[in-house]
Structure 1
Amino acid sequence: MWALLLQVHNICKSYRKGRPILNHIHLTVGKGEIVGLVGESGSGKSTLAKVIMQLEAPEKGAVYFQQQPITKHRRAAFYDSCQIIFQNATAALNPMWTVRDLLREPLQHKQPITDTYLQTMLEKVKLPTDILHALPSELSGGEKQRVNLLRSLLVEPQLIVCDEIISSLDRLIQREIVDLLKTLNKERAMAILFISHDLKAVSYLCDRIYVMKAGTIVDESNKENNGFTFTDSYAKMLFQAMDH
């Protein structure tokens, strides 16, 4: 049993015309656990990620981290412990900064960071050490996403929220990123909320999966014997389609 780290309690949110995008969402992530959140495009997955990260406000419900509600005065401490990586790796990187600048920025309020330390960390995410002086425009899509991942890791978070981070990468790079997340989880006991419509990646990576449809969690399953069993008809249909 995982000790509770993140708890999403009864979150509701609507956009214009009162159409609910999140409908009484309950979700948890345990310490060191890898949790998947799947569903078709438009099901509300990314909106939920933004609510968790306090980038959008819910109309109802609350998000708790380590059993405490995330309030304004607790937000800075929350961001030290929880980081998000977005789908668009390019948009997350200042095009005028070198990789060295990008990696040093999250640590600017901490002790001075040496290039030797950054090079050691680059190796952990399988990036060449001479990349420090490169600009984002000189990097491939996979390299950009690894830089984003490393930026998050440098603050030593307890939880990383990955919002469709492999969807724009080719299959080989996707697998490398997923394997890297698996390794980091084992080495650091770092929890991961992995949001994706790639069911094979989610099934391979995650300990537990939530299935979302039209803003509602319709099913949840724990991994047993390297597989998942669902009871909801929509969830069954999604995962049966994956096998064909």
Structure 2
Amino acid sequence: MRPADDPALPPAVEPGPTLRELVWGVERAADLAILADRLGPAARREGEGLHSRDPTGLALGFRVMAREAAPVRLRQRNQGDHRGRVNERLSAYGSPPALRIVHCAYNIPRAANEAALAFWCGPLGFKPVDKVLDTGTFLQAEGDVEHHNFFLCFRPDRAGINHIAVELWDFDAVMEAGNRMIEAGWKESRRPGRHRLGSNVYRFVHAPCGGRLEFVADMDRMDKDWQTRVWEKNPGHNIWMIRSSGPDPAGTGD
């Protein structure tokens, strides 16, 4: 995150706080050379990184990853006759850590869809996992198995950031992280639920840097045997979403 007037930032494609450059990690320096060859004159080398733009004008960067091991934590659970947690009470996580940025969703004008897909699935090697003809395309990076690392989402006539998703430990961590943002004054943008495509638990808040921040857990993972699914119409955003009947009229609940 940087001030909007930082002269080192690429030009914005929309007004206000927004995503100015999306930087992807590669495993080896040799991968940068492969990408530079695929992208041709559209790519430029700067220091140890590679830079380009996609057809909608989004600035892209590529650099060798410096990944740290994610602090995975699996809570023991009780269900039926299964006793995974005995003589132990749960406590709040307090400040659950982000495991990684798991995907970015980007708005594109519908008319730009085919050119964008040709770019992301061509020289960048992304694979469509779910292609929803009236909504957009969920794309998986060449070196990952996540349901999607990038989502091209239709908007009538504009490009710009939709949301950035951060992976957390589990459902509890997703709820707690959303609460912390709300306590800090940020507004929730939709009620929590579980997505149909991707299957992840989610919670959205409006983000300080523009667009929205999505906290997620337990997303689908598809290996390279997965065949692209094409949907004529959106099958629905949610398996479930929290609903409310409003305050308890009798005043008996807390």
Name the larger-Rg structure: 2
TM range (shorter): under 0.3
Per residue, is there more strand in 1 or in 2? 2
**What's the TM-score once normalised by structure 2's chain length?**
0.27
Q: Of the two structures, which has the highest relative contact order with CA contacts closer than 8 Å and spacing of 6 or more?
A: 1
Q: TM-score, normalized by length of structure 1? A: 0.28
